[in-house]
Amino acid sequence: MSDAKVLSYLGLSMRAGKLVTGEEIVLKAIRSGDAKMVIVAGDASANTQKKFRDKCGTYKVPLLIGWDRDRIGSSIGKDTRVVLAVTDLGFAKMISKQVGIMSEVEYIE
């Protein structure tokens, strides 16, 4: 139930223009302070996961690791996506509230 809610929130934030995808664009959003939450696919490479763990830890951006790249991509109406950033605080709070009651994802504050 809440799993589907989070994925629908991602789609909603994409349609609202409050979501960016792609490794370099997400890194730029983290550095500039625009990223309010970063989501990395659970099937991303260990190197990619470590890179975003480190970067989000440095800039104090909440990081969520979970789902596979196909589910993330289909939730926002795109092909497979490995990393994305929510750039709106309201959407980030809605997602983190749902993640708090889920066990399928790893949530790192």
E strand intervals along the chain = 19-21, 37-41, 63-66, 83-86, 106-108
Going by pLDDT thresholds of 50, 70 and 90, the confidence category of residue 2 is: low
What is residue 108's predicted lDDT score, i.e. its pLDDT? Answer: 63
Sketch the domain layout of the chain as residue ranges.
3-98
Pair 36, 22: CB distance under 8 Å:
no
- Per residue in 72-105, pLDDT (tens digit) is 999 999 999 999 999 999 999 999 888 876 555 5
What is residue 32's predicted lDDT score, i.e. its pLDDT? Answer: 97
Q: How many CB atoms lie within 10 A of CB 73?
A: 19
Helices 46-59 and 23-32 pack at an angle, to 10 degrees, of 10
Instruction: Specify the 3-state DSSP secondary structure of 79.
Output: coil
Pair 73, 79: CB distance under 8 Å:
yes
- Per residue in 8-64, pLDDT (tens digit) is 999 999 999 999 999 999 999 999 999 999 999 999 999 999 999 999 999 999 999
Going by pLDDT thresholds of 50, 70 and 90, the confidence category of residue 3 is: confident
Going by pLDDT thresholds of 50, 70 and 90, the confidence category of residue 107 is: low
- Superfamily assignment of 3-98 in CATH? Ribosomal protein L30/S12 (3.30.1330.30)
The strand pair at 63-66 and 37-41 is best described as parallel
What is residue 1's predicted lDDT score, i.e. its pLDDT? Answer: 37
Tokens of 16: 């609202």
